[in-house]
Chains A and B, each alone.
Chain A
Amino acid sequence: AQSVAQPEDQVNVAEGNPLTVKCTYSVSGNPYLFWYVQYPNRGLQFLLKYITGDNLVKGSYGFEAEFNKSQTSFHLKKPSALVSDSALYFCAVRPGGYQKVTFGIGTKLQVIP
């Protein structure tokens, strides 16, 4: 069975500082990994994904994530945080193919002005 761990319920970072939101996963075979963001009273917005290829993937709004197979991690990063980045971030994983996606519990990012 596949699983996703987001070990931090909340991450606080000062505006302008780099941010990291952590994600580790467990899945059989090669993973498809995703990050989504949810703003208050909104649906989930797709940020980025790793399917294959370069371990560093770039996504929307300046976010990037690094796939680390040996550590089974897919941490979300941004070099300089904005107050508008404050939201709930979900990591998700599934094995290849159109199969069930498993979501982490979410990490609340608070960017402090």
Chain B
Amino acid sequence: SAVISQKPSRDICQRGTSLTIQCQVDSQVTMMFWYRQQPGQSLTLIATANQGSEATYESGFVIDKFPISRPNLTFSTLTVSNMSPEDSSIYLCSVVGPGQGETQYFGPGTRLLVL
């Protein structure tokens, strides 16, 4: 399976600021996704990161709030903009790649606390 790393692993941020989360994979992957897991909740898909083009956002998520980049087949970033305490969550990068049998693998997550 692909090895996925995320930076930062955790952060505490002030209301109104922005945080960019990086996701790096050790091999080229077909699909990259960003999920949010709010405290005590399941996973919610934010968007699919598309290489070289705009991300595909799920209902309830918009580009202005969660801009995403994917410059190549191994790297993506998610920015959480103009943060509020409601953005306190775990943000998870997930990938599907060739040779992975259609399994989605997850990074370790970024734990964000907004004060």
* Bound Cα distance A44, B42 (Å): 11
Contact in complex: B30, A98 (CB < 8 Å):
yes
State which of B31, B41, B105, B111 has its C-beta within 8 Å of the C-beta of A105.
Answer: B41
A64-106 contact mask (Cβ, 8 Å, vs B): 1 or 0? 0000000000000000000000000010100000101101111
Rounded to whole Å, the gap between the CB of B37 and the closest CB of chain A is 9
Contact A43 B102 (CB under 8 A): no
Instruction: Flag whether B13 is at the interface (Cβ < 8 A).
Output: no
A89 CB to nearest B CB, Å? 11
Cα distance A49–B103 when bound, in Å?
A: 8
B16-63: which residues lie under 8 A (CB-CB) from chain A?
A: 30-31, 41-43, 45, 58
Tell me the nearest residue of chain B to A101, going by C-beta: B104
Is B101's CB under 8 angstroms from A49's CB? Answer: yes
Question: Does B108 sit within 8 A of A, measured CB to CB?
Answer: yes
Tell whether A46 pairs with B1 under 8 Å between CB atoms, given A98-B102, A105-B41. Answer: yes
- Chain A interface size band reads 20 to 34
Q: Is B107 an interface residue (CB 8 A)?
A: yes
Nearest CB of chain B from residue A98's CB, rounded to whole Å: 5
Q: Tell me which of B43, B96, B106, B107 has the highest count of chain A C-beta atoms within 10 A of its own C-beta.
A: B43
The answer to whether A34 touches B104, judged by C-beta atoms less than 8 angstroms apart, is yes
The residues of B that contact A45 with a CB separation of less than 8 Å are 106
* 0/1 string, A45-69, CB within 8 A of B gives 1: 1100101000000000000000000
Residues of B near any A CB (own CB < 8 A): 1, 30-31, 41-43, 45, 58, 92, 96, 101-109, 111
